[in-house]
Amino acid sequence: MSAAAEKHPKGLYVLFATEMWERFNYYGMRAILVLFLTKALLFDKVFASQVYGSYTGLIYLTPLLGGYIADRYWGNNKSIIAGGLVMAIGEFFLFFCGNYYDNAVIATPLFYIGLGCMIAGNGFFKPNISSLVGQLYKKGDSKIDAAYTIFYMGINTGGALGPIVCGYFGDTGSKGDFKWAFLAGGIAMLLSVVTQMLFQKKYLVNAEGASIGEAPANAPKFFQKIPVMVGFLFLISLLTIALVYIDIKVVSYLFWLLLACILFISFIIFSDSTLNGIEKKKVAVLFTVSFFVIFFWSAFEQAGASLTYFASENTERNLGFFEVPTSFFQSLNSIFVVTLAPLVAWIWIKLGKINKEPSSPFKMAMGLMLLALGYLWIATGVKGVGTGVKVSMIWLVGMYMMHTFGELCLSPIGLSLFNKLAPFKFASLLMAVWFTANAFANKLAGVFSALYPEGDKVTSFAGYQISNLHEFFMFFVFMAGLASIILFFLSRKLKGLMEN
Ligand code: GLN
């Protein structure tokens, strides 16, 4: 293949930069979130875990709305700008909240408004930027997979830098400094919006040179004015604040809502008489893998909650010359993605050459197994260790490395499976299933994180009792290990259904 054929459009690098700054903002804030809640706002870990679960759960649910509205009214470009601005506003609310952390009457509303803005803004940013990547290319262009890989590097460059920069300024050991992390996140988000605004006209074009991401021609113009859009998103933020607040404080309903979403979507698809048997079998494969990824992400996303408590309280972070801030550990996953992804891609190519590349469901089962092994590693490190004792950071670092290998086996494969198998008519609806599974997993991650052992506290989930760190981590070994084994057994059957 000639060098020219390999060349990617410049627009890809614009989207790379836009997404990098946005992920910097998202992961930088996430690195601080439970620390801020427990150390500055003085909530307990159970409550902080619940906030984390409801927040990140809704982060994956609002993209359904953001994708829908962009397709019909706003187009991708403007949705990204409005969503990005609202996320920046969210960070600034959190910054003010951080200023008044010791006054609950002021800090509490500011905190929830900030969180609501992040959720609503993300819902309009994330699905639309991902969709633009594919639109830069002709349908079926073989460079699309590579484009998404490059884009994934952008995600993780931001994911690596955010926790480090925000952690450096905000996670200093002084309660009053957390606000700087939110400010840094807000500035990064503004950089993202500015990048998009400066370069979208010139570089976001398709293979024929026509602009992409524009609003549909017949959409009402009034609703496409940025202040109107931001105002609308602000209303959605208020709604999401209410949703988060009710879920945490009144009645935990989010699981049921998500379950209802999945059942409703499956009813729509399976009752559609225009789909033939083969298509329905492919859809069944997608539902099955969505079910299994719940076990993956609910254990993996402990990163922002229980594993951060562990980094803070049970990990020796003092290197003698430098004490590593707790939040830095949240950048490890992204650092490992950037460094290990080429190795994993190389392994698949090598195996492919000798006709031994595993099927997608098999790779996903491997991902779950690697996740279980990561937890087994850290469970070994804390065997016999009391809740207040600190262990070496190699346990956490090694675990994040194994988790990242797991992510690289499961996450990109899952997404491309949706692209390949979803019947055209239901492509977006099935993407919604994938997002809803992620939302479910993140909400569940909050529930699991609340089981984190402390003092003599004994917690339990589905009959499994947890009274120390070893038992806590073994819980994830059993859950992910069991899910992996079942998926290994199912993978041959799923492969058959896919190839039909
Ligand atoms: N780390 C990736 C991102 O932030 C993927 C996360 C996920 O799919 N749960 O986009």
Q: Which amino acid is at 490?
A: L
The verdict on the CB of residue 333 being under 6 Å from ligand 1 is no
The verdict on the CB of residue 466 being under 6 Å from ligand 1 is no
Does the reported pTM lie above 0.85? yes
Which of 212, 179, 198 is closest to 21 using CA atoms? 198
Name the helix (H) or strand (E) containing 61. Answer: none
One domain for residues 167 and 312: no
Q: Which amino acid is at 78?
A: K
The verdict on the CB of residue 297 being under 6 Å from ligand 1 is yes
Find the domain containing 219 and state its range: 1-252
| 65 close to 236: Cβ distance less than 8 angstroms | yes
One domain for residues 363 and 487: yes
One domain for residues 335 and 222: no
Domain final residue, candidates 252, 277, 300: 252
Cα 13–Cα 16–Cα 22 angle in degrees, nearest 5: 145
Residue nearest to atom 5 of ligand 1 (CA): 411
Query: How far, in Å, from the CA of 438 to the mean position of ligand 1?
Result: 9
One domain for residues 236 and 346: no
CA distance 43 to 400: 27
Query: How far, in Å, from the CA of 445 to the mean position of ligand 1?
Result: 14
CA distance 160 to 154: 10
Query: How far, in Å, from the CA of 187 to the mean position of ligand 1?
Result: 21
Query: How far, in Å, from the CA of 500 to the mean position of ligand 1?
Result: 30
3-state SS, residue 205: strand
| 12 close to 153: Cβ distance less than 8 angstroms | no
Residue nearest to atom 2 of ligand 1 (CA): 155
One domain for residues 452 and 344: yes
One domain for residues 227 and 375: no
Name the residue of 20, 22, 23, 433 to mutate for ligand 1: max ligand atoms within 8 A of Cβ.
23
The verdict on the CB of residue 411 being under 6 Å from ligand 1 is yes
Query: How far, in Å, from the CA of 274 to the mean position of ligand 1?
Result: 33
CB-count exposure of residue 199 (10 Å: 0-12, 13-18, 19+): middle
Which of 446, 441, 453, 456 is closest to 407 using CA atoms? 441
Contacts of residue 367, Cβ cutoff 8 Å, sequence gap at least 6: 296, 406, 407, 408, 409, 410, 411, 413
One domain for residues 313 and 199: no
pLDDT digits (tens, 9 = 90+) for 363-392: 999 999 999 999 999 999 999 887 778 999
One domain for residues 178 and 210: yes
| 456 close to 477: Cβ distance less than 8 angstroms | no
| 397 close to 374: Cβ distance less than 8 angstroms | no
Query: How far, in Å, from the CA of 136 to the mean position of ligand 1?
Result: 21
The verdict on the CB of residue 151 being under 6 Å from ligand 1 is no
One domain for residues 89 and 237: yes
CA 97 to chain centre: 24
**What's 261's domain CATH number?**
1.20.1250.20
Q: What is the residue-level pLDDT of the chain in tens, covering all 500 positions?
A: 444 456 899 999 999 999 999 999 999 999 999 999 999 999 999 999 999 999 999 999 999 999 999 999 999 999 999 999 999 999 999 999 999 999 999 999 999 999 999 999 999 999 999 989 989 999 888 888 889 889 999 999 999 999 999 999 999 999 999 999 999 999 999 999 999 999 999 999 999 999 999 999 999 888 899 999 999 999 999 999 998 889 888 888 888 989 998 899 899 999 999 999 999 999 999 999 999 999 999 999 999 999 999 999 999 999 999 999 999 999 999 999 999 999 999 999 999 999 999 999 999 999 999 999 999 999 999 998 877 789 999 999 999 999 999 999 998 888 778 878 888 888 888 988 999 999 999 999 999 999 999 888 899 999 999 999 999 999 999 999 999 999 999 999 999 888 76
Domain final residue, candidates 202, 237, 252: 252
Sign of CA dihedral 326, 330, 334, 339: positive
Domain final residue, candidates 235, 252, 269: 252
One domain for residues 445 and 305: yes
Query: How far, in Å, from the CA of 213 to the mean position of ligand 1?
Result: 22
Rounded to a whole number, what is the largest CA-CA distance in the chain? 68
One domain for residues 384 and 494: yes
How many domains are contained in the chain? 2
| 82 close to 229: Cβ distance less than 8 angstroms | yes
Name the residue of 155, 156, 332, 440 to mutate for ligand 1: max ligand atoms within 8 A of Cβ.
155
CA distance 57 to 291: 15
What six digits make up the tokens of 279? 């298509």
